[in-house]
Copies of this chain bind each other. A is one copy, B any other.
Amino acid sequence: MAPAKHPAKLNLGDYLPYLVNRVGTIIADQFGEEALAPHGLSIAMWRVMAALSANGGQRQIDLADLTSIDASTLSRLVTRLTRIGLVTRARSTSSNREVVVALSAKGRLLVARLIPSARRIEADASAGLTAEELAVLKRALRRMYRNMTARPTAAAGARAKRIAV
């Protein structure tokens, strides 16, 4: 174990994992309640739809990379999104063995309606930060995610083998 500077105490207000997690949670909770819940969507379902909207139809394995959602969870999400008519699964035109996930017309319409809310909550959350601070923040967060996916733990290997997008 690495030696700790203050082994007996841990000040949450200066503890990076806490500072990150509470921000991530409060944004997801507010966006979920305000924008997604009225449509019966979770944050994870929204991520899938946003990724399909930005990148077009995807194989499930590529969609997992784009959303940082593990394969088995993603499969269940796509099934639910398909059932409610927001997403379709179809054989690839280039390879009959491949299944491609894509937004339905209804799904595209819903994403287009939700994107302004998503942009607004991002703007609300980052109000008062300079462009430079925002750039440092995003770069640091990408680096942290890569650090965590590269940690040599069984848990990390099983769940988070995605590379940061």
Chain B nearest CB from A134 CB (Å) reads 7
Q: In the complex, which residues of chain B have a beta carbon less than 8 angstroms from the beta carbon of A151?
A: 30, 124
Interface positions, chain A 31-48, Cβ under 8 Å from B, are: 31, 33-34, 43, 47
Q: In this assembly, does A131 line the interface, its C-beta being within 8 Å of a C-beta of chain B?
A: no
User: Which residue of B22, B122, B137 contacts A136 across the interface (Cβ within 8 Å)?
Assistant: B137
Q: In this assembly, does A53 line the interface, its C-beta being within 8 Å of a C-beta of chain B?
A: yes
Chain B's closest residue to A31 (CB) is B17
Please, how many residues of chain A have a CB less than 8 angstroms from a CB on the other chain?
A: 80
User: Which residue of B20, B68, B121 contacts A27 across the interface (Cβ within 8 Å)?
Assistant: B20
Q: In this assembly, does A61 line the interface, its C-beta being within 8 Å of a C-beta of chain B?
A: no
Complex interface: stretch among A73-81, A82-90, A98-106, A110-118:
A110-118
Give the oligomeric copy count. 2
Chain B nearest CB from A148 CB (Å) reads 5
Q: In the complex, which residues of chain B have a beta carbon less than 8 angstroms from the beta carbon of A144?
A: 23, 27, 125-126, 129
Q: Which interface residue of A17, A67, A138 has the most chain B CB atoms within 10 A?
A: A17
Contact indicator B26/A145 (Cβ below 8 Å): yes
User: Which residue of B14, B122, B123, B140 contacts A129 across the interface (Cβ within 8 Å)?
Assistant: B140
Contact indicator B24/A20 (Cβ below 8 Å): yes
A binding-site residues for B, Cβ under 8 Å: 1-2, 4-5, 7-31, 33-34, 43, 47, 50-51, 53-54, 66-68, 111-112, 115-129, 133-134, 136-145, 147-149, 151, 153, 155-156, 159-160, 164-165
